[in-house]
Amino acid sequence: METLPFLLTLAAATSVYLLWFYLLARKLTGPKVWPVVGSLPLLFVNRRRFHDWIAANLRATGGAGTYQTCTIPLPFLARKQGFYTVTCHPKNMEHILRTKFDNYPKGPEWQAAFHDLLGQGIFNSDGETWLIQRKTAALEFTTRTLRQAMARWVNQTIKNRLWNILDKAVTAKHSVDLQELLLRLTFDNICGLTFGKDPETLSPEMPENPFAIAFDTATEATLQRFLYPGILWRVQKLLGIGAERRLKKSLEVVEKYMDDAIAARKENPSDDLLSRFMKKRDVEGNHFPISVLQRIALNFVLAGRDTSSVALSWFFWLVMNHPEVEAKIVKEISAILTETRGNDRQKWLDEPLVFDEADKLVYLKAALAETLRLYPSVPQDFKYVVENDVLPDGTRVPAGSTITYSIYSVGRMKSIWGEDCMEFKPERWLSPEEDRFEPPKDGYKFVAFNAGPRTCLGKDLAYLQMKSVASAVLLRYRLSLVPGHRVEQKMSLTLFMKNGLHVFLHPRTLA
Ligand code: HEM
């Protein structure tokens, strides 16, 4: 091609593209977008404070609580894969999570990315496949025996291992990474609850457990699939290289471990979720095959493993910074134990709280809910748009695009939670007499446990577990942050503390 016609063609194409881009950008309501790279430069600049950046963008909408942006401003992709509607508007969330539930599934990209790890399990399916599992699981999650099983697993971990480790740290005047201990504790609990076997990753030696390592590696490799365009991980998988190789290898370990667990439960059924699912039959009246049972169990482990430990880490950090809240929590636990165990302080400390004692902790529950309002364990979630739709606030969402609902931002909007939304105030969750836990009337103001038909199944178990651990720690110890330790958010699908939570423990003197 000769130079001049080539340059003229290039100039014409560029002008057409820029005109097209100008028309697209005029309709976008979020942060600045550039030709070709869209909002990616700002995403990159804000990658270490992603959730706060989204919250600031949503606040900048002046109370509207919704904006639209584009990461791939190229024809054909700009209104589909590249198009994001970001919202924290309660009415919009109600619309996507409940009213028009069928129009907003997890979607093909999400399902493809999680498929190797989770198969078509409850956490990773839509439509009929999801509904059948949801109905079966929902029946089990409401049973008292499952709550009792959770209480048993958590209390035996506290009594036999957590207190030991913390007592040693007090005597040796060593700091501990509380987040690390809590992650191990909840991993052990969810394994116990799901397939009746406690891998004891929380123990004084902090052992490296092959199943836990393989499960972590598989989860991390799966999450990496979201970082880059889908074609990249598919090519890596085909060639068996990089993160995809690690995923394959770790899945072999996970599957072998699950096979052993299933064999053990077949011989010796118990009150765990796996034993319960082994008794069930599918729509054709057959028992679930082993491969399906494996995935069912893994879905529960993934859903219930890190969320409560991460919430507890933020809770302990907030309580450390709010001594008046800490005093009220200890006072409430002491009052209940006086009622149930009398005045002998030793009796208060000998055993963790039993289910009925934990159930009465109203202020502690309020403090945990308040933690999740400000630091939700799942800070944002995504839904795929099946058909063109209009959200209740008038926002038009095109088919094939993605809606991100920012759970982190909902709690940080003055228009939703009032002028004091950034303050840690458990009292806002209590009735005027402060004797009852009272969640907001509009259920879509608080979506830390999701809402609508896909509400978290483990919510009550999680509160029970968090109350048990929080009271077991706070009744025995005062915590102080290791000087110089920086508490920061890790940018991930779960709101971990990037550097952990390093604390010193001091014995508590009970009044
Ligand atoms: C503080 C603790 C927890 C929080 C904040 C939490 C939050 C959530 C959220 C946001 C979802 C929706 C995820 C999505 O659809 O993308 C969810 C779903 C789910 N959670 Fe939890 N969760 C917690 C603890 C647990 C525990 C301990 C269990 C199990 C014992 C559990 C079991 C589940 C299950 C099975 C689902 C899938 C429900 C469905 O898709 O129908 N969760 N949870």
- What does the pLDDT look like over 178-227, one tens digit per residue? 999 999 999 999 999 998 989 999 998 888 889 999 998 998 899 888 87
Ligand 1 centroid vs 1 CA: distance in angstroms?
59
Q: Are 103 and 179 in a shared domain?
A: no
Q: 315: exposed, middle or buried (C-beta count within 10 Å: 0-12, 13-18, 19+)?
A: buried
pLDDT at position 511 is 79
pLDDT at position 231 is 87
What is the total count of domains within the chain?
A: 2
Q: Are 91 and 223 in a shared domain?
A: no
pLDDT at position 290 is 87
Q: Are 341 and 321 in a shared domain?
A: yes
pLDDT at position 226 is 81
Q: Are 204 and 221 in a shared domain?
A: yes
**Boundary of a domain, candidates 392, 426, 460:** 426
Ligand 1 centroid vs 125 CA: distance in angstroms?
14
pLDDT at position 175 is 97
Ligand 1 centroid vs 235 CA: distance in angstroms?
31
Whether 224 maps to a domain, the answer reads: yes
| Ligand 1 pocket test, candidate residues 147, 182, 307, most atoms within 8 A of CB | 307
- What is the domain extent for residue 204? 130-378+448-507
Q: 117: exposed, middle or buried (C-beta count within 10 Å: 0-12, 13-18, 19+)?
A: buried
Name residue, tokens 């159930």: 359
Structural tokens at position 161: 């291992």
Alpha helices in 99-196 (DSSP H): 108-118, 127-141, 144-157, 163-172, 178-195
Whether 8 maps to a domain, the answer reads: no
| Ligand 1 pocket test, candidate residues 120, 456, 460, 469, most atoms within 8 A of CB | 456
Ligand 1: which residue has its CA nearest to atom 16? 381
Cα distance between residue 455 and residue 437, in whole Å: 19
Residue 181 sits in a domain whose CATH number is 1.10.630.10
DSSP structure class, residue 160: I
Ligand 1 centroid vs 457 CA: distance in angstroms?
6
Cα distance between residue 434 and residue 330, in whole Å: 16
138-143 contacts at long range (C-beta below 8 A, 24 or more positions apart): 138/457, 140/273, 140/276, 141/457, 141/458, 141/460, 141/461
**Nearest atom of ligand 1 to the alpha carbon of 130:** 41
The alpha carbon of 63 is separated from its chain's Cα centroid by a whole number of angstroms, namely: 26
Whether 437 maps to a domain, the answer reads: no
Q: Are 298 and 346 in a shared domain?
A: yes
pLDDT at position 132 is 87
Cα distance between residue 443 and residue 350, in whole Å: 39
**Nearest atom of ligand 1 to the alpha carbon of 134:** 41
The helix (H) or strand (E) run that includes residue 463 is helix 459-474
pLDDT at position 456 is 96
pLDDT at position 1 is 60
Alpha helices in 268-396 (DSSP H): 273-279, 290-304, 307-320, 323-341, 345-350, 355-359, 362-374
Which residues lie with the beta carbon below 6 Å from any ligand 1 atom? 122-123, 134, 300, 303-304, 307-308, 311, 372, 377-378, 381, 448-450, 454, 456-458, 461-462
**Boundary of a domain, candidates 396, 426, 456:** 426
Which residue ranges in the chain fall short of pLDDT 70?
Answer: 1
Q: Are 202 and 212 in a shared domain?
A: yes
**Boundary of a domain, candidates 426, 459, 488:** 426
Q: Which residues does the annotation place in the binding site for heme?
A: 456
The two beta strands, 380-384 and 402-406, are antiparallel
Ligand 1 centroid vs 243 CA: distance in angstroms?
26
